[in-house]
Structure 1
């Protein structure tokens, strides 16, 4: 097996947190138990996806607030919060509050752009301002300014018995250094680097310069670091769908193979007008997956990952997958549990 360019320093995982719309509590409880298991297995981070008007986590900040009270060490991230649904000032308050509750373990990842199906949702989401909303990078800049403690108002001081601050409260000084941007294009990678924040790259990229997924992702990583004040030391986390089968039952192996096969056709060519290109899922024994990752041009330049769990599996499947990642695949990639 070839040696990695960089030993894997941080191992994380990502879950969508599916639930039954008629009985949502068990699904949310399963997500929290999975995060607890991740800490027990030594993972460095656990990340949750964001899904609005679907049967996945609609309020990741609330879910992670609960997770802060059930864990003590593991870092907790969002991958990602789409800011088109959010007010930057209010979100900054929520993020700082959860970061304080966690003891400084929150890693908020965000993205920009109009909400999905905006024409159908805009009257409910922004009944008076739908056509005036700015879904550009400016929304991230606002959030970053509030998180960094820059003034949010010209008013401060004492009024009667109440004391007012001119910046978001609570203020968590270390949170700004743990802000991430989730990008799939060269422009996003460049912008994130210029802002001096961290960069999340996932299993989908925009096919701008070629149709080779690994090479496209590599170009994003290099562009980000070329623009970042920290250069090659700037933090990048790669999120691919990885499903080790070392301890899986035959039934689980068949399920995983079928899942990957159904998703494989979309990886053959860029999809839609935006030319989005998807990575194949990594399924198999950990030694086999490690070899494929070592040969992956983008993986060779990172030392952090947040492997994405499949969306539609059962709790016991996630337990098996996470256990194999922590005990088999992670060590094969040079990682040591926390």
Structure 2
């Protein structure tokens, strides 16, 4: 494990007991958390994207704010649902954030997860899908997005324009040359992981896999990562791609930790999602020395270079920073991690 960071769903709304977390609270706390993690030397802060839900939805303003108020930390998404996106506008926004951050954007995209509405992307204006889940829209939008961030000319110049004119094809602006190498595809199957390897983008292995053959989740996920890397090599892409996994991990170092998470150690789950029998990863909650042994036994964590900790963002900045700091001090170094401050 070379890098670790946090993955936040950005939930807001009623918390119980008359308490309320507003959308503004959620956004401002996300920025504060990123600042604190930057000071701790943590590698990344990543956000889930969900539409029509009380969660983070349009990530670019948040990522731009984090970019402007941090120095080292990578910021990104896990993942943007490409069914909802204008690919050229997304390419412009992503390039702008990447330039503001000095090349620290790690943009995870995919078809997205199940929604709280029916075919919500159609309400955004994206219709005509032949797939009941809109996967064809996501792939088409992604292909155009890649062409845009690669700097391909996509619109014919107007020779009579008073704003430059000329001939040939014009790319979208701004353009960030290094962004293409920091695009990730969120994959929930071995097949989509292999596809990502052939395309030449990094892999965000999902928190669940739409496979259930009786093997533990970590072994299924490690096989998926191996297949991804093999497809990358076979396609002839240069260098080594990155691969990330996410886990719910809670070092128990205080009485409060035990109160919240002491009974949360859970095994793999098997259920149905989007009509597929799927395997879900386990939750780890234990004292740091016990956690180290458990995580070293997790085949997918051993295989991936990046680990994302799913955090309970509703519990506030101070609580989550304490979880992250405990992991950074007492667990991560034993897994091979080194702070960005070192």
TM-score range, shorter chain: 0.7 to 0.9
C-alpha distance in 2 between matches for 1:299 and 1:16:
21
Q: Which residue of 2 aligns with 1:278?
A: 280
C-alpha distance in 2 between matches for 1:301 and 1:131:
36
Q: Which residue of 1 aligns with 2:229?
A: 225
5 Å-filtered alignment, 1:202-217, equals 202-207=206-211, 209-217=213-221
Q: Which residue of 2 aligns with 1:241?
A: 248
SS at 2:209's partner residue? strand
SS at 2:69's partner residue? coil
Q: Contact 1:193–1:228 (CA<8 Å) still a contact in 2?
A: yes
Q: Which residue of 2 aligns with 1:5?
A: none
Q: Which residue of 2 aligns with 1:3?
A: none
Q: Which residue of 2 aligns with 1:78?
A: 77
Query: Structure 2 vs 1, CA of residues 138 and 130 (structure 1 numbering), >3 Å: closer, same or farther?
Result: closer
Q: Which residue of 2 aligns with 1:169?
A: 173
Query: Structure 2 vs 1, CA of residues 146 and 231 (structure 1 numbering), >3 Å: closer, same or farther?
Result: closer
Query: Structure 2 vs 1, CA of residues 93 and 289 (structure 1 numbering), >3 Å: closer, same or farther?
Result: same
C-alpha distance in 2 between matches for 1:231 and 1:215:
27
For structure 1, list consecutive stretches of 5 or more residues without a partner in the other structure.
1-7
5 Å-filtered alignment, 1:1-338, equals 8-20=1-13, 23-112=22-111, 116=115, 119=118, 121=120, 124-126=123-125, 129-131=127-129, 134-155=136-157, 159-162=161-164, 166-207=170-211, 209-229=213-233, 233-246=240-253, 248=254, 250-258=255-263, 260=264, 264=266, 267-272=268-273, 273-310=275-312, 312-338=314-340
For structure 2, list consecutive stretches of 5 or more residues without a partner in the other structure.
15-19
Relative to the length of structure 2, the TM-score reads 0.86
Q: Number of matched residues?
A: 324
C-alpha distance in 2 between matches for 1:156 and 1:36:
44
C-alpha distance in 2 between matches for 1:145 and 1:324:
42
C-alpha distance in 2 between matches for 1:182 and 1:30:
25
Cα displacement string for residues 258-314 of structure 1 (whole angstroms, at most 9, x for unaligned residues): 5x36xx48x342334211211111111222112111111222222221222135433
Query: Structure 2 vs 1, CA of residues 187 and 227 (structure 1 numbering), >3 Å: closer, same or farther?
Result: same
SS at 1:18's partner residue? coil
- State the 1:20 CA deviation: 3.6
C-alpha distance in 2 between matches for 1:157 and 1:284:
66
- State the 1:34 CA deviation: 0.5
Q: Contact 1:206–1:276 (CA<8 Å) still a contact in 2?
A: yes
Query: Structure 2 vs 1, CA of residues 159 and 189 (structure 1 numbering), >3 Å: closer, same or farther?
Result: same
C-alpha distance in 2 between matches for 1:313 and 1:114:
24
Query: Structure 2 vs 1, CA of residues 268 and 171 (structure 1 numbering), >3 Å: closer, same or farther?
Result: closer
Cα displacement string for residues 69-115 of structure 1 (whole angstroms, at most 9, x for unaligned residues): 11011111111101111111111111001111111110100002687
Alignment RMSD: 2.5
Q: Contact 2:84–2:121 (CA<8 Å) still a contact in 1?
A: no
Q: Contact 1:112–1:136 (CA<8 Å) still a contact in 2?
A: yes
